[in-house]
Amino acid sequence: MSLLHLSFYSAFILSSLGLAFHRTHLISALLCLESMMLSMYIALSIWPVENQTTAFTTTPILMLTFSACEAGTGLAMLVASTRTHGSDHLHNLNMLQC
């Protein structure tokens, strides 16, 4: 395993650990999700270059599109929850209540 692979794997693991352990604010959860998607995007961008194949060159663009949709949806949820509940604390949000 090269140093490049190790850095992408460690970035993904650290962001998933951040998502698992820092569950106080919605914005911190969204930032951890975005860092996970960024590390996956960079890893998928470098993978076809390393394997010298053109079969998966559109996969990073597809991943980037889904990441942008996820970010937009997350920010819309953040704005809506802040307007209704007054804060972005995750323990105040109950999806079963209206």
How confident is the model over 19-41, as pLDDT tens digits? 899 878 888 889 999 999 999 99
- The tokens describing 94, both together, are 């109950």
* Residue 98 placed within a domain: no
- CATH number of the structural domain spanning residue 77: 1.10.287.3510
What does the pLDDT look like over 85-98, one tens digit per residue?
A: 888 887 776 665 65
> What's the rounded Cα separation, in Å, for the pair 82 and 87?
5
> What's the rounded Cα separation, in Å, for the pair 22 and 50?
35
State pTM to two decimals. 0.80
The pLDDT, as a whole number, for residue 60 is 87
When divided into structural domains, the chain yields a total of 1
Kindly give, in sequence order, each residue whose CB lies less than 8 Å from that of residue 25, ignoring residues fewer than 6 positions away: 88, 89, 90
Angle at 31 between CA 5 and CA 77, to 5 degrees: 140
The pLDDT, as a whole number, for residue 91 is 76
Distances (CA, A) of 37 to 8, 19, 33, 83, 91: 11, 12, 6, 27, 25
How high is the mean pLDDT of the chain?
86
* Residue 96 placed within a domain: no
Domain that holds residue 27: 3-85
What does the pLDDT look like over 32-67, one tens digit per residue?
A: 999 999 999 988 888 888 888 888 788 888 988 999
